[in-house]
Amino acid sequence: MRIGVTCYPTVGGSGTVATELGLEIARRGHEVHFICYALPYRLGRVPPGVTFHEVTIPNYPLFSYPPYSLALASQMADAVRTHGIELLHVHYAIPHAISAYLAREILGGGPKLIVTLHGTDITVVGADPSFLPIVRLGIERADAVTAVSRSLAQETHELLGITREVEVIPNFVDPARCDADFAAAHRRRLSPDGAPLLVHASNFRPVKRILDVLEIFRRVNERLPAHLAMVGDGPERPVAERFVRDAGIAHRVEFLGNVSPVEGVMGAGDVFLLPSSEESFGLAALEAMACGVPVVASDAGGIPEVVENGNGGYTFPVGDTAAMAACVLGLLADPDELARQRALARAHAAANFSTAKVVDRYEALYRRLLGC
């Protein structure tokens, strides 16, 4: 099969999933073309079977807002025509779904279209009146639509009034990315005194409730001196840095920025925190579990589909930092239970979210649409 993939190339769950999926599809002998405005961060050295098409936008002074969606549509159409791409798989509906639809219109038919919904493309941005009609059209005209959780599929129907089928294919993780030696080295540096280490990783957007992460840690650290590693970057970082200074915990919290591979730091932790207000899936929680790190999270959106209570993690109502802190303290106070939860986390991730199993489902969908 010849597959075109479009995603955000920046650090983030949708780009990670799109890139790892494309790479695995290429490993299975298919031809994969990434059509993006930059090389996806996870692509690294472009392997055989994979081609990167850079979308460029002419810089004309009239354009206060460069029309990226249109340039993307033209580039998609060109790549399809030149390379005989049979199927365009776009990740994150805005603007990729409508660009793919336009590309097919330019070509007068041709490639099959799959839109994979990742989260805020429906729940936050997609439901905004400025995007809703165009997102709805992109979704309705695709040949198949997938969502990363049942929760997101349901929100797509409810918030956008979409009635068509949305197939649920969860995100996946490769436990081989968890390198125990690398994680141990991170741990020695992040917790030189051997105190417990909590970890959070995100894009520091408001939906991640970064202040809840810090409040959970503050409560834990009050009872049991610990360390917190904050991985990632984003708009809430200055507020977070002020919080730790004001709370007098700056010496126990390290802001690491974006690190690669992220699993190195995640695997170093005792517990991973994800108290988000919106989360269609929570890929970071899955990555932590795959590395044997139990998760304490909110029960927002699709998180309970990934983090099952007592099976390598626990969920609580959004904002209940007291309960989340008590849960972390309970785990840290009981090394046997912590070890049990570590093993359960690893087993749950491997059994239900392995790359092989989930990519099989995408490959089957491709074959179904292409009739091969």
What is the nearest approach in angstroms of ligand GMT to the Cβ of residue 350?
A: 18
34 vs 332 by CB, closer to ligand GMT: 34
Beta strands in 183-317 (DSSP E): 197-202, 227-232, 253-257, 271-274, 295-298, 313-316
- CB 157, CB 136: distance < 8 Å: no
Residue 160 touching ligand GMT (CB under 6 A): no
Residue 280 touching ligand GMT (CB under 6 A): yes
Residue ranges of the alpha helices (H) in 161-224?
Answer: 180-190, 210-223
Instruction: Count the residues of the shown chain that bind ligand GMT, applying the rule CB under 6 A.
Output: 18
- CB 233, CB 203: distance < 8 Å: yes
282 vs 304 by CB, closer to ligand GMT: 282
Residue 236 touching ligand GMT (CB under 6 A): no
Cis-peptide into 261, omega within 30 deg: yes
DSSP secondary-structure letter at 92? S
Residue 156 touching ligand GMT (CB under 6 A): no
Other C-beta atoms lying within 10 Å of the C-beta of residue 168: 16
Q: 93-109 burial by CB neighbour count: b if 16+ within 10 A, else e? A: bbbbbbbbbbbbeeeee
270 vs 305 by CB, closer to ligand GMT: 305
Q: What tokens were used for 124?
A: 């936050």
Residue 17 touching ligand GMT (CB under 6 A): yes
Mark the segment that binds ligand GMT (CB under 6 A) among 37-45, 49-57, 275-283, 312-320.
275-283
Binding residues for ligand GMT restricted to 191-220, rule: CB under 6 A: 207
Residue 40 touching ligand GMT (CB under 6 A): no
12 vs 275 by CB, closer to ligand GMT: 12
Residue 14 touching ligand GMT (CB under 6 A): yes
Of the candidate residues 4, 5, 6, 13, the single one contacting ligand GMT (CB under 6 A): 13
Mark the segment that binds ligand GMT (CB under 6 A) among 7-15, 192-200, 226-234, 242-250.
7-15
Of the candidate residues 43, 72, 73, 148, the single one contacting ligand GMT (CB under 6 A): 148
The SS3 of residue 202 is strand
In sequence order, the 6+-apart residues with CB closer than 8 A to the CB of 90 are 5, 6, 7, 96, 97, 99, 100, 113, 114, 115, 116
Distance CA 75, CA 335 (A): 55
126 vs 196 by CB, closer to ligand GMT: 126
Binding residues for ligand GMT restricted to 299-338, rule: CB under 6 A: none
86 vs 287 by CB, closer to ligand GMT: 287
- CB 304, CB 199: distance < 8 Å: no
42 vs 187 by CB, closer to ligand GMT: 42
Interface residues with ligand GMT (CB under 6 A) are: 8, 12-15, 17, 118-120, 148, 171, 207, 278-283
